[in-house]
Amino acid sequence: MVNFLSIFTMRNLFFLSLALNLSLIMRVFYEGEKHGPHGLSARKADSGLEKAAHATQRTLVSLSSSGQDDGEKLINLDHGDPTMYESYWQQMGEKTTVVIPGWQSMSYFSDVKNPCWFLEPEFAKQVVRLHNLVGNAVTEGRQIVVGTGSSQLFLAALYALAPKDASEPISVISAAPFYSSYPSMTDYLKSGLYKWAGDARSFDKEGPYIELVTSPNNPDGFVRHSMVNRTGGILVHDLAYYWPQYTPISSATDHDLTLFTVSKSTGHAGTRIGWALVKDPEVAKKMIKFIELSTIGVSRDSQLRAARILEVIINSSQNPGRPESGESFFKISHHLMAERWQLLREAVNRGRFFSLPEFQQGFCQFLNQVSQPQPAFAWLKCEDESVEDCESLLRDHKILTRGGRSFGVGPKYIRVSMLDRDHNFNLFLKRLASIQT
Amino acid sequence: MVNFLSIFTMRNLFFLSLALNLSLIMRVFYEGEKHGPHGLSARKADSGLEKAAHATQRTLVSLSSSGQDDGEKLINLDHGDPTMYESYWQQMGEKTTVVIPGWQSMSYFSDVKNPCWFLEPEFAKQVVRLHNLVGNAVTEGRQIVVGTGSSQLFLAALYALAPKDASEPISVISAAPFYSSYPSMTDYLKSGLYKWAGDARSFDKEGPYIELVTSPNNPDGFVRHSMVNRTGGILVHDLAYYWPQYTPISSATDHDLTLFTVSKSTGHAGTRIGWALVKDPEVAKKMIKFIELSTIGVSRDSQLRAARILEVIINSSQNPGRPESGESFFKISHHLMAERWQLLREAVNRGRFFSLPEFQQGFCQFLNQVSQPQPAFAWLKCEDESVEDCESLLRDHKILTRGGRSFGVGPKYIRVSMLDRDHNFNLFLKRLASIQT
């Protein structure tokens, strides 16, 4: 903990203290699916750094020795369900609330003057503000296309980029380990426009192709660039995890077509809102057409909610600590992720059964400090020779994870969500420890 | 007007009076896209039936003689944008409002125990209550599948019903005039699973097929049944318009797979919520898979909002006129549509230039009265021999409509939205009259 803290300036200590308090409160008060207003009283908690840190550790120790885990509860870490963030949003209180009267946003149309006629202007405005603040993507000269999550935008991109009159479908590739849904999403409709062609590393077919570059990568968390880099290649950058809590923000990306989503940036997965930054207006137009044909636009309610959430995050970063803006979302989330990764590495390093990827630290322009990648998923490898199928092993301990085969590699690997609620994350750590003993 | 009124009982006269008041208030206060709280004061308006009716007519006369229409404003009646309903929802006030705190509905999952894991239980509950109340569909023994509008559910149905290992794509057909988006939605991804095969009336290919039955039909408003009725045929019933304001509710439908949407039932098009009632659990499972692969579920915010809206409609029908429940949505909407159709028929009958479909009246189980079909679209035919392309003619008068070719028939026909705001509808009537003189 001391090493980790040493990178914080004195100013940051104040925020860290509050972050630790939040973390503590989450552990003490949080009991599962149901939420109540009780979390709001947590603001009165003591904000002394050491006291909070010690209390946090006491809570963890108490959890691991109290017998709260009888090993029977199934923990689902298969999906990247970002419920970890609920506690931050509870703490933020009413400023995050959206109120939508019955007569509002009834029309199909959000903005008839925008080529993306279903894009809420307020959402577009906050997206630009957020990227300018975080510095993770250039927005100038881009068409913003909103989607029902970035999944829909991924499909819209394939539709927009695939030649319409080609003799055969264009190849879609990504370097293994790749996001497990890419193959099925590409092929489930047996489209004549595009077809999954597997691992980009072994792709040697002539002609045009679409390469999906996920950076930081899902599942393994590494920063990525195009693997093929050949004439006729079209790149789609999925930057769902290029946010300060997961990875150092080294520069503003400037790609042709980039995907983002609120699921991973703010934690609002149930809202189903993603956005694309698209350089070529003709490509954007085709993506818009895809969304028109598949869902006649994107929920305006959800866009309004997402706009509110992004605005709160921006305010919390610009004026952290003030009552009207609250504590910095990215600083608190970064701290929570750092803490979880530290705990996970400690648990893994207690034995030789598992290993984790090792990342290079980097300077984060947004946090203005050197920091470690701390991905939304842990890409665990079973090093033990007796284990062939790591997913099955974890399932025997009532932990659902996703095995390496889904990502185009072997069954020695599993992907584990790092974004679940504290209680489940702590049970996961405890069971991981028990497997190694 | 007197003929129309004679079908109302004394009890209904009270509601009609309020409906007319709403209609009047809408005309007087409504100015376009922007909404304000001013509409709320309208409740204080005089509710005398005759006074309101006369005032409504005065408003119309004043509009048509005041020169408010200089013929320059473009009126877009191409889409079925249901903005007509805004005024009802404004009148209903705060009871229609949803409030969503920042920490709510963050998880991907709405209900892990339901095969449709992204279905909000509250939304499902209100869907069942609404069908039971209106009597337009059997819900028992059905899986409810929620979708991002019924468009997504239409595509999900094609995916679910198409054989996965067939040597060629299954034919998708519908009797002309059919919904103009069916062909492009079916074919835009060049799926190997299904393929648009045109007008059901001329379909004579052997083997399995999917027939889309839209009833009442979009664009022409007629009640429909399967046209082909052959072995191997699978039916999808699109009942978006099977609601009391558009057509008499003759019985509770009991089909294998039925689609509904809030866009047309409540007017909340921007919310993008539809639902399917599916008899075969295996088909439902595949539809759920489709939605998982295309958008990882459906906006939870929008489902919560739709649930609230449906609940308000149910309360307004069960306890009409009480302050806590408001005026009956279906009665008021039915009246508004009746009024619009009467005005349209009067305008059309003033010349021989156009004609409209003639419908048979029927007994509406929900309204407990004989009533006329009064569709959400007017299917106008240009009877004048000098006009080849009716859509172009209307466009010359700055009215955007959709021409017959889009619906699989000739250019003498146009589809015109009957659901736009009062001001635009009245401009449309006025210009229609001017074409005929």
Between B97, B103, B188, which is nearest A35 by CB?
B103
Amino acid B9: pLDDT: 39
Both B127 and B275 in one domain: the answer is yes
CA A342 to chain B, closest CA, distance in angstroms equals 25
Amino acid B426: pLDDT: 97
User: Which of these three, A317, A342, A376, is where a domain ends?
Assistant: A317
Give percent of chain B above pLDDT 90.
Answer: 80
User: What is the average per-residue pLDDT within B25-35?
Assistant: 34
Nearest Cα residue in chain B from A268 = B106
User: What is the average per-residue pLDDT within A317-339?
Assistant: 95
Which range has the worst mean pLDDT, A329-333, A394-398, B3-7? B3-7
* CATH code (residue B220): 3.40.640.10
Which range has the worst mean pLDDT, A5-14, A324-333, B213-222, B321-330? A5-14
Q: A102 vs B301: CB contact, 8 Å cut-off?
A: no
Both A225 and A206 in one domain: the answer is yes
A326 to chain B: which residues are within 8 Å by CB? none
CA A303 to chain B, closest CA, distance in angstroms equals 10
Most confident of A120-129, A202-211, A323-332, A428-437: A120-129
Q: Is A25 left (phi over 0), alpha (psi -120 to 50) or beta?
A: alpha
A155 to chain B: which residues are within 8 Å by CB? 294
Tell me the residue range of the domain where B403 lies.
65-91+327-434
Structure letter (DSSP) for residue B114:
S
* CATH code (residue B422): 3.90.1150.10
B107 to chain A: which residues are within 8 Å by CB? 81-83, 269-270
Confidence of residue A126 (pLDDT cuts 50, 70, 90): very high
Residue A9: inside a domain: no
ipTM over the 0.95 cut-off? no
User: Which of these three, A317, A350, A367, is where a domain ends?
Assistant: A317
Confidence of residue B35 (pLDDT cuts 50, 70, 90): very low
CA A349 to chain B, closest CA, distance in angstroms equals 31
- State chain A's mean pLDDT as an integer: 87
User: What is the average per-residue pLDDT within A318-343?
Assistant: 95
Q: How far apart are CA A211 and CA A198, in angstroms?
A: 10
B290 to chain A: which residues are within 8 Å by CB? 188
* More confident of the two residues B49 and B181: B181
Amino acid B60: pLDDT: 39
Q: How far apart are CA B244 and CA A249, in angstroms?
A: 56
Confidence of residue B113 (pLDDT cuts 50, 70, 90): very high
User: How many distinct structural domains can be found in chain B?
Assistant: 2
Both B352 and B224 in one domain: the answer is no
Mutation for A interface: B30, B84, B103, most A CBs within 10 A = B103
Confidence of residue B68 (pLDDT cuts 50, 70, 90): low
Express each pLDDT in B369-402 by its tens digit.
999 999 999 999 999 999 999 999 999 999 999 9
User: What is the average per-residue pLDDT within A394-403?
Assistant: 96
Q: B106 vs A86: CB contact, 8 Å cut-off?
A: yes
Per-position DSSP letters for A125-152, written without gaps between them = HHHHHHHHHHTSB--TT-EEEEESHHHH
The helix (H) or strand (E) run that includes residue B57 is helix B49-65
What single letter denotes the amino acid at residue A296? Answer: I
Express each pLDDT in B167-180 by its tens digit.
999 999 999 999 99
Express each pLDDT in A148-205 by its tens digit.
999 999 999 999 999 999 999 999 999 999 999 999 999 999 999 999 999 999 999 9
Amino acid A323: pLDDT: 87
Both B189 and B170 in one domain: the answer is yes
CA B79 to chain A, closest CA, distance in angstroms equals 9
Residue B118: inside a domain: yes
Nearest Cα residue in chain B from A296 = B151
B18-to-B21, B47, B96, B97 alpha-carbon distances in Å = 5, 6, 19, 22
A83 to chain B: which residues are within 8 Å by CB? 106-107
Residue that has been written with the tokens 């947590």 in this structure: A42
Which range has the worst mean pLDDT, A1-10, A77-86, A115-124? A1-10
With a cut of 50, say whether residue B47 has pLDDT above it.
Answer: no
Is B240 within 8 Å of B150 (Cβ atoms)? yes
Residue B58: inside a domain: no
Both B79 and B149 in one domain: the answer is no
With a cut of 70, say whether residue B406 has pLDDT above it.
Answer: yes
Confidence of residue B2 (pLDDT cuts 50, 70, 90): very low
User: Which of these three, B266, B282, B317, is where a domain ends?
Assistant: B317
Both B75 and B121 in one domain: the answer is no
CA B10 to chain A, closest CA, distance in angstroms equals 30
Which range has the worst mean pLDDT, B42-51, B318-327, B354-363? B42-51
B97 to chain A: which residues are within 8 Å by CB? 99-102
With a cut of 60, say whether residue A49 has pLDDT above it.
Answer: no
Both A134 and A199 in one domain: the answer is yes
Both B163 and B123 in one domain: the answer is yes
Residue B48: inside a domain: no
Both B216 and B347 in one domain: the answer is no
Pairing of strands B170-174, B143-147: unpaired
- State chain B's mean pLDDT as an integer: 87
Express each pLDDT in A350-375 by its tens digit.
999 999 999 999 999 999 999 999 99
Residue B49: inside a domain: no
Residue B1: inside a domain: no
B180 to chain A: which residues are within 8 Å by CB? none
Is A240 within 8 Å of A150 (Cβ atoms)? yes
Express each pLDDT in B245-292 by its tens digit.
999 999 999 999 999 999 999 999 999 999 999 999 999 999 999 999
Both B251 and B112 in one domain: the answer is yes
Q: How far apart are CA B91 and CA A437, in angstroms?
A: 67
Q: B81 vs A267: CB contact, 8 Å cut-off?
A: no
Q: B269 vs A108: CB contact, 8 Å cut-off?
A: yes
The closest of A360, A322, A346, A356 to A433, measured between CA atoms, is A346
Residue B17: inside a domain: no
The closest of B78, B33, B96, B4 to B343, measured between CA atoms, is B4
Both B246 and B295 in one domain: the answer is yes
Q: Which H, E and C letters describe A146-184, residue by residue?
A: EECHHHHHHHHHHHHHCCCCCCCCEEEEECCCCCCHHHH
Residue B4: inside a domain: no
